Structure 1
């Protein structure tokens, strides 16, 4: 974070010089001003993916409020906020393991040698109809659901993989991103939300830690490295992390959206120094995009350079509502999109761009 007493220095001069090359603008406020931050006013246009003519639409993967299963929605061509249910509105798949319910599904494009050849869906092992919210956080599942596909149509090899030990109360909202910087061939960085109890409290009846974001690496979604704490904003509870790579850069620029579970807000942070680099919260420590929401799902526009779409789950109301921005590295630059063609009651999920071949295959199989 940038402190209120920040002043120009040699280090800042070097940083400013490098960001100027990227088209970034640094906003300096007077010392002591509240919410002092960096203004990435042209960030999206310079670092987000350029329009890609081979992309033909978007695939949305969600669960529905009372139905913790995997549902597919396909866009109306390249319209980023017009979706239609596939499979006549029935689930594409239902889990057969764990609690028998999956929430927060995210679809992951293969990276490295799996690029264009493999996709994964991972999700939370939770059927709230069989438990309570308190119990689900004290003695919830320690694993994540995984499915895989080589064509986006057939989903196989369902598994429930344990990623945390017995001190964890739960594993919520897992997502993953390909990290080309990990090792020689790269690996998937998988991340999720957990809280922890002392080893002396084996039944988890006492007070836990705050909720933090954990992470581990995998190359196959079968075996994982020992998890590490990725984000800990103690005493604040953080859940629902999603990371958006900004293509067209050097592979080190990312946006990450998350929910402050304590204040019930969603906010964005930005890094130009990699997944484990320095992250800045534009607008300061209290800045946020929206309140009373969760489950952010961000995706780049297929046609408009620098434009990002963001779905926010109004969990106390009608589920996902779409937002958009051409200045996505901001907590104040988001506007509500039209909901005319956007389905109601979609819950925490993800959206992925698809080319014409995949678009046609999905429509032919599930349309």
Structure 2
């Protein structure tokens, strides 16, 4: 859950009127395998759920968004990055969605009941949907978790095999005035048992994310002082987890999401979201959750969905992946990431072509339709999404966004041939149609067409075409 500013968090704490201490439960017995969810034998891809915001809130949308990925690193937004479901009760919006495959193979989606950033809004409920295939969402309702005067932030779910129930963990404020991670148990996601304190290390923690039964150990990652930290336990009993890992962060980081690689045994990824509407995701990798140490991934290797915030990630089958793409479609637009500055994307600003650091507003400045070349249909032209009568073209070798005047000169200036990336053949480079010795490249972050010869030139002229 995106934490509010400290002043509002203090007032949120003062709103707490009292919370019963967690009641110890009997030992849970055998633990669930994998990540605490029912896992299909043929899982080979992933689905991500999220909401959207951007720096000036032009992308603010508090409905349920989905994206898919074959590797858990590069993501394709579904439904043109529009919501696939929107709450109609409570605040009328959601944050922090989470998707779980239940023991019967169907899915349940939970989310914080909060629209926007009104941190004074208090809800004892979470939003809930059922879904057989993530293409239709039924049974929308809110599930009440407690009667306390505190929030129910960032709900996530795990299967507790010993109890034969699902545990719903979420962030709330305790009687000492700091956020803890609570748990309620449910069998049907309609009614929940009494709230208990699941994890309270004595300081403020939010955004719990569990990996259950990994070589007999359960791992809980959470936000502590704007860093991501792990705790572990041999059981799922409330109060049994002990902090152990090295903290990781990139600025103020929250919303940890643990993802097991389906392609590499033992490899796990840890996603984190930066606080503020910028919502930049960063990712780390480890070969062993038990080690508690992480290595930052090169940003060339992953791309978050446009404007995504506080995600949840679930493995899916190849059939489910294909069906989701068939149902919702891929975006009609693309984004272009710089190879040697992978935090930056191609955009226009004041009609000048350049690469700027994600995230920015208007976010539509960085969205492009790659259409058949205006001068040669075997090439491509870059049509602006928010100025559809304008295209990227070169003029005195500098790239700018101009109105298509219908002339052959404009068509030639706005046409490029896509080639294998000059610095990495799995990426792309773009050669000018009417200046065939020159390629689109950035120089001091401004786009132009130049001859390319050096290693740096080739890196400047290489881009990833994605979403």
2:253 matches 1:293: yes
1:62 corresponds to 2:50: yes
Structure 2 distance, partners of 1:192, 1:351, is 17
Which of 171, 191, 194 aligns to 2:169? It is: 191
**Structure 2 unaligned runs (5+)?**
1-33, 54-59, 330-467
Residue 290 of structure 2 aligns to a residue whose secondary structure is: coil
Q: Which residue of 1 aligns with 2:207?
A: 240
Please say which structure displays the higher CA radius of gyration.
2
Q: 1:273 to 1:196 in 2, by over 3 A?
A: closer
> Within 5 Å, which residues of 2 pair with 1:243-262?
243-247=210-214, 249=215, 252-260=216-224
Residues 310-349 of structure 1 correspond to what in structure 2 (within 5 A)? 310-316=270-276, 317-339=278-300, 341-343=302-304, 344-349=306-311
| Deviation, structure 1 residue 274 | 3.9
Q: Which residue of structure 2 lines up, in the alignment, with residue 212 of structure 1?
A: 180
Q: 1:196 offset after TM fit, Å?
A: 4.7
CA distance in structure 1 between the partners assigned to 2:231 and 2:295 by the alignment: 14
Which residue of 248, 256, 265 corresponds with 1:305? Answer: 265
Whether 2:340 is the aligned partner of 1:358: answer no
Q: How does 1:4-153 map to 2 (within 5 A)?
A: 54-65=42-53, 66-75=60-69, 77=70, 79-111=71-103, 114=104, 116=105, 118-128=106-116, 131=118, 133=119, 135-136=120-121, 140-153=122-135
> Per-residue deviation at 1:82?
0.6
Higher strand share: 2
Higher relative contact order (CA 8 A, sep 6+): 1
Corresponding residue of 1:282: 244
Distance 1:332 1:192, change over 3 A: same
Q: CA deviation at 1:54?
A: 2.2
Matched, 1:164 2:132: no
1:227 aligns with 2:195: yes
Given that residues 284 and 294 in structure 2 are in contact (C-alpha distance below 8 angstroms), is that contact kept between their aligned partners in structure 1?
A: no
Displacement of 1:216: 0.9
* 1:128 aligned counterpart, secondary structure: coil
In 2, Cα distance between the equivalents of 1:123 and 1:216? 15
Quote the Cα distance in structure 1 between the aligned partners of 2:213 and 2:47: 19
Q: What is the DSSP-based 3-state SS (H/G/I as helix, E as strand, rest coil) of the residue aligned with 2:242?
A: coil
Instruction: Verify the 8 A CA contact 1:61 1:72 in the aligned structure 2.
Output: yes
Change (3 A) 1:160 1:329: same
**CA distance 1:256–1:237, change in 2 (3 Å):** same
Shift in CA distance, 325/48, structure 1 to aligned 2, threshold 3 Å: farther
**Which secondary structure does the structure 2 equivalent of 1:360 belong to?**
helix
Output one character per residue of 1:254-282: Cα deviation in whole Å (capped at 9) or x when no partner: 2110012xx22210112233454843322
8 Å contact 1:328–1:334 — kept in the other structure? no
Unaligned runs of 5+ in 1: 1-46, 198-207
CA distance, structure 1, for counterparts of residue 150 and residue 41 of structure 2: 45
Say whether 1:273 aligns with 2:235.
Answer: yes
Q: Supply the distance in 2 between the matched residues of 1:217 and 1:58 (Cα, whole angstroms).
A: 26
Structure 1 distance, partners of 2:170, 2:153, is 6
Contact (CA 8 Å) 2:40, 2:317: kept in 1 or not? no
Please provide the CA RMSD for this pair: 2.4
Report the TM-score, using the length of structure 2 for normalisation.
Answer: 0.57
Distance in 1 (CA, whole Å) between partners of 2:182 and 2:236 is 17
| Residue aligned with 1:365, SS | helix
Change (3 A) 1:82 1:244: same
Hey, what does 1:6 align to over in structure 2?
A: none
